[in-house]
């Protein structure tokens, strides 16, 4: 493509955290009316570069130019006032959970220097409706953001950023919690924004999205700019520039093993929610079962029941043929049922704790020697998991807040793989996780699952296909069908995911 004028440029950017060089001599030009994608493995330096551009990190090497003039941002507010709007990967950094939807959508107005404490509430609500309309958000303006889903929070943060009329819009993993329909709506908006001359930096591990919308791709590897690619992209070239060659997974579970004698977990006429059909499902020993479906299909609700966060309406859960009914999280863990939740930041990560402490938290009794913690044993176990799962950190004693989002995710996955389990449930485990890390998680599961079982829940079909031995599709609370990895029919899976399900179809599916 012909090179357009660039409104913002970062030149020779470098940044160190202690002895770790996070960025080294990175230069990027952001052209007007262009979507520039940035890709790289977890810990490559993408988030560090974003935090420098948006004024979060002020101590760095190199320079930032806007319209050819050097600038040095002192705060994120300073960068925002220069026309840089950022939606960060960690969704809850972009919203104030204790405030209403209306207040979150109009934060810029509420925080304006000249805003009177006696502001016009009706005018503010009208502005909130205008901002919500940007992303076609149909949502109660009075609802507290803490009560919203991850996808609604993400859409609020994106809508507010779009409403600021930025010179440079930075989106870090913007579709990590969005449905395909919501993502399509975002892409349409970005195309319109691009036509107005806005420069867009789009960071994502979903390479099919980048191939669809980006004009150029910058690859960051080990803190350096490894490559710049122009559209149309060769995905294999992109992956190789990011992480090198990645071997394919070997799907281990044989079709002849899937019989009743090998059943580890069974759901028998399990009703998860009132008005939903009963679920009948078997998970076999040594099997990684993938479950996919749209947001709201009922996948996470099933996980809540299995992990004791919610009581089922009726039906049975069996482990090794024996009925169990987890009445609490503690009860579920005692039965060997572990759960990696979708909302990592609210429900899993403990801020200001170390990587070791976050990893071993549910299993402290395993390191208790007559009331005294065996910290050395705890450290050895944590170091082993760090190595096995390729977690990028200075040490097991580093604060988890110092890790990028993808590596935080791997710590939480490692937490629940630390001890032996009957069933481990991973709910959207690949949010913000690069292709190499997905491979590491999948490989670790395969090497250590033994005679136990795993349930991986993901909206992204590609993620499920990559790691699962068998895939089941949930739609409107119903299990629509299943396929073995050896005989995957992608079109059929997509049909089950997207079709409208009538009450009659639900009854037929579960007859």
298: left (phi over 0), alpha (psi -120 to 50) or beta: left
Query: What are the helix (H) ranges across 14-75?
Result: 46-53
Question: What CATH architecture is 249-336+420-511?
Answer: 3-Layer(aba) Sandwich (3.40)
Residues 43-84 have pLDDT tens digits of 888 989 999 999 999 999 999 999 899 999 999 989 998 999
Residues contacting 201, CB < 8 A, separation 6+: 30, 36, 37, 38, 50, 53, 168, 169, 170, 171
| Minimum mean pLDDT range among 78-82, 260-264, 393-397 | 260-264
Token pair of 62, please? 């190199």
pTM for this model (two decimals)? 0.69
Query: What are the helix (H) ranges across 220-327?
Result: 235-243, 299-306
- In a 10 Å sphere around its CB, with 0-12 CB exposed, 13-18 middle and 19+ buried, how is residue 505 labelled? middle
Token pair of 299, please? 């996948």
Q: Percentage of the chain with pLDDT > 70? A: 92
pLDDT score, position 181: 82
CA 217, distance to chain mean position in Å, is: 21
CA 251, distance to chain mean position in Å, is: 24
pLDDT score, position 2: 43
Residues 427-452 have pLDDT tens digits of 988 877 777 778 888 888 888 888 88
Residues 205-237 have pLDDT tens digits of 888 889 999 999 999 998 999 999 998 888 888
pLDDT score, position 504: 47
Residues 110-167 have pLDDT tens digits of 877 766 666 778 888 999 999 998 888 888 999 999 888 888 888 898 888 888 888 9
Every domain of the chain with CATH number 3.40.50.300 lies at: 249-336+420-511
Say yes or no to pLDDT of 246 above 50. yes
CB 485, CB 465: distance < 8 Å:
yes
CB 337, CB 307: distance < 8 Å:
yes
CB 158, CB 186: distance < 8 Å:
yes
Query: What's the whole-number mean pLDDT along residues 279-295?
Result: 91
CB 40, CB 219: distance < 8 Å:
yes
Nearest to 407 by CA among 63, 41, 39: 41
């Amino acid at each position: 493509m012909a090179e357009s004028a660039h409104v913002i440029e970062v030149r020779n950017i470098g940044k160190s955290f202690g002895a770790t060089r996070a960025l080294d001599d990175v230069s990027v030009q952001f052209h007007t009316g262009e979507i520039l994608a940035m890709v790289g493995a977890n810990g490559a330096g993408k988030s560090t570069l974003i935090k420098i551009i948006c004024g979060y990190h002020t101590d760095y090497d190199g320079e930032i130019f806007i319209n050819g003039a050097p600038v040095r941002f002192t705060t994120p507010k300073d960068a925002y006032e220069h026309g840089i709007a950022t939606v960060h990967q960690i969704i809850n950094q972009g919203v104030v959970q204790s405030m209403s939807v209306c207040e979150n959508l109009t934060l810029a107005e509420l925080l304006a220097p000249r805003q009177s404490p006696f502001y016009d509430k009706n005018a503010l609500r009208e502005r909130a409706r205008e901002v919500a309309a940007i992303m076609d958000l149909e949502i109660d303006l009075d609802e507290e953001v803490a009560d919203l889903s991850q996808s609604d929070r993400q859409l609020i943060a994106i809508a507010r950023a779009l409403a600021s009329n930025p010179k440079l819009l930075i989106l870090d993993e913007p579709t990590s919690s969005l449905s395909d329909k919501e993502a399509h709506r975002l892409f349409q908006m970005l195309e319109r924004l691009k036509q107005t001359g806005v420069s867009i930096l789009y960071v994502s591990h979903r390479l099919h999205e980048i191939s669809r919308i980006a004009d150029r791709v910058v690859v960051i590897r080990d803190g350096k700019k490894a490559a710049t690619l122009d559209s149309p992209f060769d995905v294999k070239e992109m992956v190789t520039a990011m992480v090198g060659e990645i071997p394919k997974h070997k799907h281990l579970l044989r079709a002849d093993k899937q019989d009743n004698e090998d059943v580890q977990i069974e759901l028998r006429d399990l009703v998860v929610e009132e008005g939903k059909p009963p679920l009948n499902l078997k998970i076999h020993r040594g099997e990684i079962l993938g479950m996919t479906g749209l947001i709201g299909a009922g996948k996470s609700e099933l996980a809540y029941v299995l992990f004791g966060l919610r009581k089922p309406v009726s039906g049975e859960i069996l482990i090794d043929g024996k009925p169990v009914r987890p009445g609490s999280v503690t009860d579920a863990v005692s039965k060997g049922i572990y759960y990696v939740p979708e909302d990592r930041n609210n429900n899993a990560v403990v801020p200001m704790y170390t990587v070791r402490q976050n990893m071993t938290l549910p299993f402290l009794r395993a390191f208790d020697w007559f009331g005294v913690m065996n910290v050395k044993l705890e450290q050895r176990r944590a170091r082993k998991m760090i190595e096995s799962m390729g977690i990028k950190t200075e040490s097991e004693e580093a604060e988890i807040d110092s890790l990028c989002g993808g590596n935080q995710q791997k710590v939480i996955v490692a937490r629940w793989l630390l001890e032996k389990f009957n069933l481990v449930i991973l709910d959207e485990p690949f949010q913000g996780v690069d292709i190499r890390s997905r491979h590491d998680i999948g490989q670790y599961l395969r090497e250590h699952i033994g005679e136990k079982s795993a349930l991986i829940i993901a909206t992204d079909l590609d993620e499920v296909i990559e790691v699962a031995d068998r895939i089941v599709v949930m739609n409107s609370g119903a299990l629509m069908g299943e396929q073995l990895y050896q005989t995957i029919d992608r079109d059929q899976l997509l049909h089950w995911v997207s079709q409208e399900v009538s009450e009659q179809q639900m009854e037929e599916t579960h007859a």
